[in-house]
Structure 1
Amino acid sequence: MSIIHKLPYEWLVGLRYTRAGKRSSRNSFISFISLISVSGIALGVAALIVVLSVMNGFQKEVTDRMLSVLAHIEVFDASGAMPDWQQAEKDARRNPAVRGAAPFVETQGLLVKDDTMKPAVIRGILPSKEGEVSSVAKQIRQGSIESLQSGRFNIVLGYALARSLGVGIGDKVNMLLAQGTMTPAGLVPRSRLFTVSGIFEAGHYEFDSSMAFVDIEDAQRMVRQQAPSGLRLRIADMHQAPQVAQQLKASMPGDLVVRDWSKLNANWFAAVQTEKRMMFIILTLIIAVAAFNLVSTLVMTVTDKQADIAILRTLGASPPSIMKIFMVQGALVGIIGTVVGVALGVLVALNIDVIVPFIEHLLGIQFLSKDIYLISEIPSDMRWPDVIKIGGVSVLLAFVATIYPSFTASRVKPAQALRYE
Structure 2
Amino acid sequence: MFSLSWQLAWRFRRDKRQSGFISFISASSTLGIALGCFTLILILSVMNGFEQALEDELLNIIPHGEITAVNTQGLQNWQAIQQQYAQDPHVVFTQPVIKLTGLLQQGAEMKAVEVTAIDSALYRKSPLFKAIDIPDWPAFASKPHSIMLGSGVMKQLNVSVGDKVQLLLPQFGEQNQLLAPKSQWLEVAGSISMGGELDKHIALMHLQFAKDIVSVDSGAQALQFYFDDAFIAPLKTRQIGFSLAQHVYISDWTRTQGHLYQDILLVRWVVYVVLTLVIAVACFNIVSAQMMAVAEKQAEIAMLKTMGAANPFIIRTFVYQGAINGILGTLFGSLAGVVCAWYVSDIARAIEKLTGHAFLSGDVYFIDFLPSQLQWPDVIFTVSIALCLSLLATLFPAIKAAKIEPAKVLGH
Question: Could you say if the C-alpha distance between residues 395 and 77 of structure 1 is closer, same or farther in structure 2, counting changes exceeding 3 Å?
Answer: farther
For the pair 1:192 / 2:190, whether they are aligned, the reply is no
Equivalent of 1:313, from 302, 305, 310?
305
CA deviations 1:289-330 (Å, max 9, x no partner) are 322221122112212332332244345555455334323333
Partner of 2:171: 179
Residue range with higher mean Cα deviation, 135-144 or 157-166: 135-144
Equivalent of 2:94, from 98, 101, 108?
101
In 1, distance between residues paired with 2:222 and 2:36?
Answer: 50
Residue range with higher mean Cα deviation, 307-316 or 168-177: 307-316
Supply the AA of the counterpart residue of 2:267. Answer: E
For the pair 1:147 / 2:140, whether they are aligned, the reply is yes
TM-score calculated relative to the size of structure 1: 0.84
Partner of 1:366: 357
In 1, distance between residues paired with 2:46 and 2:339?
Answer: 13
Partner of 2:396: 404
Alpha-carbon shift at residue 86 of structure 1 (Å)? 2.4
Q: Are the equivalent residues in 1 in contact too, given 2:168–2:182 (CA < 8 A)?
A: yes
For the pair 1:38 / 2:30, whether they are aligned, the reply is yes
Equivalent of 2:264, from 272, 295, 300?
272
Alpha-carbon shift at residue 178 of structure 1 (Å)? 1.3
CA deviations 1:194-250 (Å, max 9, x no partner) are 111010111112x11111111112222222212312222222222333344455456
Q: Are the equivalent residues in 1 in contact too, given 2:62–2:128 (CA < 8 A)?
A: no
For the pair 1:115 / 2:108, whether they are aligned, the reply is yes
In 2, distance between residues paired with 1:211 and 1:15?
Answer: 69
Partner of 1:215: 206
Q: Are the equivalent residues in 2 in contact too, given 1:179–1:223 (CA < 8 A)?
A: no
Partner of 2:157: 165
CA deviations 1:92-125 (Å, max 9, x no partner) are 2333222222111112111111111111111111
Alpha-carbon shift at residue 15 of structure 1 (Å)? 5.2
Alpha-carbon shift at residue 56 of structure 1 (Å)? 3.2
Alpha-carbon shift at residue 192 of structure 1 (Å)? 0.7
In 2, distance between residues paired with 1:14 and 1:28?
Answer: 22
Question: Could you say if the C-alpha distance between residues 78 and 180 of structure 1 is closer, same or farther in structure 2, counting changes exceeding 3 Å?
Answer: closer
In 1, distance between residues paired with 2:7 and 2:33?
Answer: 19
Structure 2 unmatched ranges of 5 or more: none
Residue range with higher mean Cα deviation, 19-28 or 373-382: 19-28
In 1, distance between residues paired with 2:382 and 2:124?
Answer: 41
In 1, distance between residues paired with 2:205 and 2:221?
Answer: 14
SS in 1 for 2:326: helix
CA deviations 1:330-386 (Å, max 9, x no partner) are 33432332232222111111111232334445x444343657656443211223333
Partner of 2:83: 90
In 1, distance between residues paired with 2:225 and 2:32?
Answer: 49
SS in 2 for 1:402: helix
In 2, distance between residues paired with 1:301 and 1:290?
Answer: 17
Structure 1 unmatched ranges of 5 or more: 1-7
For the pair 1:156 / 2:141, whether they are aligned, the reply is no
Residue range with higher mean Cα deviation, 169-178 or 253-262: 253-262
The number of equivalent residue pairs is: 407
In 2, distance between residues paired with 1:314 and 1:79?
Answer: 92
RMSD between aligned residues = 3.1
Partner of 1:25: 17
Question: Could you say if the C-alpha distance between residues 188 and 357 of structure 1 is closer, same or farther in structure 2, counting changes exceeding 3 Å?
Answer: closer
Q: Are the equivalent residues in 2 in contact too, given 1:101–1:132 (CA < 8 A)?
A: no
In 1, distance between residues paired with 2:377 and 2:251?
Answer: 28
Partner of 1:3: none
Q: Are the equivalent residues in 2 in contact too, given 1:133–1:233 (CA < 8 A)?
A: no
CA deviations 1:263-302 (Å, max 9, x no partner) are 3233343333323322333333332232222112211221
In 2, distance between residues paired with 1:316 and 1:400?
Answer: 26
For the pair 1:284 / 2:303, whether they are aligned, the reply is no
For the pair 1:254 / 2:241, whether they are aligned, the reply is no
TM-score calculated relative to the size of structure 2: 0.86
SS in 2 for 1:135: helix
In 2, distance between residues paired with 1:259 and 1:371?
Answer: 27
Question: Could you say if the C-alpha distance between residues 365 and 413 of structure 1 is closer, same or farther in structure 2, counting changes exceeding 3 Å?
Answer: farther
In 1, distance between residues paired with 2:26 and 2:303?
Answer: 24
Question: Could you say if the C-alpha distance between residues 382 and 79 of structure 1 is closer, same or farther in structure 2, counting changes exceeding 3 Å?
Answer: farther
Question: Could you say if the C-alpha distance between residues 395 and 197 of structure 1 is closer, same or farther in structure 2, counting changes exceeding 3 Å?
Answer: same
What is the percentage of aligned positions where both structures have the same residue? 30
In 1, distance between residues paired with 2:125 and 2:161?
Answer: 25
Q: Are the equivalent residues in 1 in contact too, given 2:139–2:189 (CA < 8 A)?
A: no
Residue range with higher mean Cα deviation, 52-61 or 168-177: 52-61
SS in 1 for 2:411: coil
Question: Could you say if the C-alpha distance between residues 193 and 301 of structure 1 is closer, same or farther in structure 2, counting changes exceeding 3 Å?
Answer: same
Alpha-carbon shift at residue 164 of structure 1 (Å)? 0.8
Alpha-carbon shift at residue 144 of structure 1 (Å)? 1.5
Instruction: Map 1:327-406; keep pairs closer than 5 Å.
Output: 327-361=319-353, 363-368=354-359, 370=361, 375-406=367-398
